[in-house]
Structure 1
């Protein structure tokens, strides 16, 4: 009998990117999460939805290898939290946060390069190689920032900042990309530019797995494949996006009558008004 040993690439392709089993989380005497089960597989693009206070940020803390559960198990990229060096694991996770606190006048190229160091500012002793600089500039160009590579952060529009942060997040070739309410503070044009960039990214890199957290359906990219809806710290529904984002489930999650529509791949939500 011939025994085939799986290659690292085989393991990367078949092992769940995220696997939460019976996860609970408590802060003091307050129970934040109650028995969360959730599995994310390679190449899937998840939306994490729910009202404020539902527990979305806590779940993203597990996904980003930032937080340990109170009970249950969390596996990220095949590594069990509590049995792996968290800092090392985070190198394979890209994170886009619109509240990225750049204080100095770093250029777009420099901000993208901080994706290699996992820092906000460039460390004093960090000197990128010519190849790393070329890669950072090439990524920024992919997102339409070719004419702004040397523009300082303070003068950038919110849309340009969002694109730069995506490039920063994927410079180190992560297996998982987390988008934490990425369109917060963007005007309509900047939001649409950002969502187009996300769609283009997932089409160019089909192996990349993404999780986007929001409580606004209008902020979901067209390439979203799955959705997890939580309410009061518990899973309300999860699965294929068209089966989860429905009038009934969204109404239950937000505890208000909501009608959901999808037009040309994008979602919207409106309150259901009962007229006499």
Structure 2
């Protein structure tokens, strides 16, 4: 964690969703961020989770994140909902952005459930730029969907699709009307997989942010290999079934990490030699082909040795 911030406000945004407003205790401006960025949040010791920033990037005095209660989660969201209170302090890392908004004359945004959070500042940026944009936002019910006021604020541009009222969004029709606009999608894995698959068939420029690993992303051989630390020349063995991150930690290196499943980007590490076997759910095809970074929590090596920028 790089800072400790105060919870200035804790507000209910929808059924099972709270929005935290975080401020520096001294009143200092917070580091800049861009739409699509997320924070590492440590609401209690040992609980580190990633949450997309959903406020205004121009408002440097505060950060805002929305947290969905996940009954089957690992305890982070439950702590935020049940224990964390206004006036408490939390550890914060970042912000980092692996879901950046490209410059374009228009956009198609597709959100499912809490996946609306990174889309909120993207919509604001697209509107401010005078872009031709559309948002299709689905959820279980209207009461469970945060930020539905976007539909009132931007009539004709935002389509709300509560499942209990209208079923699931017609993705074939939605994506079929995308034209040459880049598609930004965040939400449950099933939605992301469907958008990725249909988008590929239609030749669309699709950008995804996942909360859980893509289906099959972690599959593949678990053979042993070596990593060389460029700064010292030290060579470490990564045994079969052991991650690079675990090998580095076992050798006494302190590494930043959080999700340990290739979705948050906290452990991104430069690669100076060798060929990574990417198993994350973050990097684009072009970034994978470049091979100059990897997520050491899950990715492995296609070559006998990797040289890491450590």
**Is the structural similarity TM-score above 0.5?**
no
Higher relative contact order (CA 8 A, sep 6+): 1
Give the structure-1-normalised TM-score. 0.31
Bigger strand share: 2
Bigger helix share: 1
